[in-house]
């Protein structure tokens, strides 16, 4: 049998319901405040220098921006030093591979993970050449593994 709701009960529910709905919506609205409109960070662009300053065979580490730059005969590429597992900074070992000090993830020379908990390999970063000829990498823009900047 269907239960009847009196008019009084109905308006009471309406009153309580609208009160809690208002509280809920206010809180959801306030949550918006917590996400910054602009991330308070330094630029993600890293000046690598002129290609001539990076002759073939150079390995350069940028400690502030946490990235490695490798120069080859006809190309240059950048690998992020931030471990995709939990954000520690990986170290380059002499036997040309990377290791993370925090939880022991291991990566080969191209940043592919071969041991440890990391869910993916090290990110490769985009390299662009500014009109004045200087190379820039962007730590916020990743590219597929193997994407290199070609010396024309």
Partner 1 sequence: MPSALHRFLDNLKRVPKTFLGSVRRHGKATSDRGRSQAVFSNLFLHIHSVKTHKNSLKPGYTLGFGLLTTVCLVILTVTGILLMVYYKPTPELAYKSIKDIHFVVPTGRMMRNLHRWAAHGMVVLVFLHMARVFYTASYRRPREFNWFAGIALLALTLALSFTGYLLPWDQLAYWATTIGVNIASSPRELTDALGITQLFDPGGAIRHLLLGANTPGAEALIRFHLLHVMVLPILLFALVGVHFWRIRKDGGLSRPESADPPDGGGFFPRGGNKTYGLMAIVRGRSPAVGRAPENTVNSWPHLFIAQMAIFMAATVILLALSLAIDAPLKEPANPAIPENPAKAPWYFLGLQELVSYSGFMGGVGIPLISMIGLALIPYLDRERGGVGVWFSGPEGRRVALRSAVFSTALVVGLLAFAINFGWLREWYPDIPQLVITFVNPGTVIAACFAAWSLWIMRRTDSTRMGAIALFTCFLIGYIILTYVGTVHRGPNWEFYWSQASWPIH
Nearer to partner 1, 102 or 141 (CB): 102
Round to whole Å and give the CA distance between 77 and 62.
Answer: 13
Residue 77 contacts residue 91 (beta carbons within 8 Å): no
Query: b/e string for 126-144 if b means 16 or more Cβ within 10 A?
Result: bbeeeeeeebbbbbeeebe
Does the protein bind partner 1 through residue 63 (CB under 8 A)? yes
Residues 122-151 that bind partner 1 (CB under 8 A): none
φ/ψ of residue 3, rounded to 5: -85, 135
Q: Smaller CB distance to partner 1: residue 76 or 85?
A: 85
Based on the shown chain and the rule CB under 8 A, indicate whether residue 89 belongs to the binding site for partner 1: yes
Cβ nearer to partner 1, comparing 75 with 89: 89
Binding span for partner 1 by CB under 8 A among 19-27, 46-54, 60-68, 70-78: 60-68
Q: Does 36 sit near partner 1 (CB under 8 A)?
A: yes
Among 114, 128, 130, 133, binds partner 1 (CB under 8 A): 114
Work out which of 1, 28, 34, 37 binds partner 1, going by CB under 8 A: 34
Task: Find the shortest distance in angstroms from Cβ 3 to partner 1.
Answer: 27
> How are strands ordered across the β-sheet holding 91-93?
91-93, 97-99, 106-107, 113-115
- Asked if 113 touches partner 1 (CB under 8 A), the answer is yes
Give the shortest CB-111-to-partner 1 separation in angstroms: 14
98 and 91 Cβ atoms separated by less than 8 Å: yes
- For position 75 contacting partner 1 by CB under 8 A, the verdict is no
CA distance readout (Å), 45 to 48, 58, 88, 123, 143 = 9, 20, 20, 15, 15
């Amino acid at each position: 049998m269907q239960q009847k709701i009196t008019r009084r009960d109905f308006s009471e529910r309406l009153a309580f319901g609208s009160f809690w709905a208002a509280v809920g919506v206010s809180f959801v609205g306030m949550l918006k405040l917590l996400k910054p409109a602009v991330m308070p960070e330094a630029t993600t662009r890293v000046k690598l220098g002129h290609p001539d300053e990076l002759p073939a065979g150079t390995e350069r580490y940028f400690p502030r921006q946490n990235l490695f730059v490798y120069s080859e005969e006809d190309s240059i590429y950048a690998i992020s030093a931030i471990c995709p597992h939990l954000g520690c900074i990986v170290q380059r070992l002499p036997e040309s591979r990377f290791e993370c000090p925090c939880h022991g993830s291991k990566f080969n020379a191209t940043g592919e993970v071969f041991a440890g908990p990391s869910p993916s390999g090290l990110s490769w970063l985009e390299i662009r050449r500014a009109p004045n000829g200087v190379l820039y990498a962007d730590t916020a823009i990743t590219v597929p593994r193997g994407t290199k900047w070609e010396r024309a």
